Amino acid sequence: MEEALYEIESLRRFCGIRLEAVLDESMILQFRHLLEEHGLMAQIFKVINQTLADRGLFLKAGTIVDASLIAAPISTKNQDKARDPEMHSSKKGNQWFFGSKFHIGVDRETGLVHTLKVTSGNVSDIAEAVSLLHGEEQFVHGDAGIRPDWPFW
């Protein structure tokens, strides 16, 4: 996130952050943990999705499911000199990554994210795929990480 905020001006504008005020990765992680501790991420996401649904922006005919690895530094930067326990190693292709994984359900017609789950990097795409569906799909699209023998195909 820190690198993205430095590199992408539109993201800084969306967050209301000036270039000289970008937070470092440990502060961003502390903010994430604060949101998690108080259950605010799910509440914020629910309000955003309800606002989009009220405006008729979700068509709900189909969902695209995917997952993205979010790399984290392997170094030990916290006070306990330990890695973040929520981050784990994962192999993609022939390369190993350390971090977390975003599992995302996207409305096929609008491209809007309707479901997001954050897990450790070692959680498989198929393990979270069903939880990314809203239940009204006529079809589901996914990459090789999702089984083609799903009943939705």
DSSP string for residues in 104-122: EEEETTT--EEEEEEEETT
Q: What is the pLDDT of residue 18?
A: 92
104 within 8 A of 116, measured Cβ to Cβ: yes
Task: Look up residue 74 and give its two tokens.
Answer: 């392997």
Q: What is the pLDDT of residue 153?
A: 47
Q: What is the pLDDT of residue 151?
A: 55
What are the tens digits of pLDDT across the range 7-34?
889 888 888 999 999 988 888 888 988 9
Q: What is the pLDDT of residue 78?
A: 63
Q: What is the pLDDT of residue 131?
A: 87
Q: What is the pLDDT of residue 38?
A: 93
The DSSP symbol for 22 reads: P
Across the chain, which has 153 residues, the per-10-residue mean pLDDT values are 87 89 87 89 87 81 83 69 78 83 88 88 86 85 68 52
Q: How far is CA 74 from CA 60, 84, 91, 94, 133, in A?
A: 39, 9, 15, 18, 32
Classified as helix, coil or strand, 102 is strand
pTM score above 0.75: no
Return the number of other C-beta atoms located less than 10 Å from residue 114's C-beta.
21
Q: What is the pLDDT of residue 145?
A: 67
Q: What is the pLDDT of residue 40?
A: 92
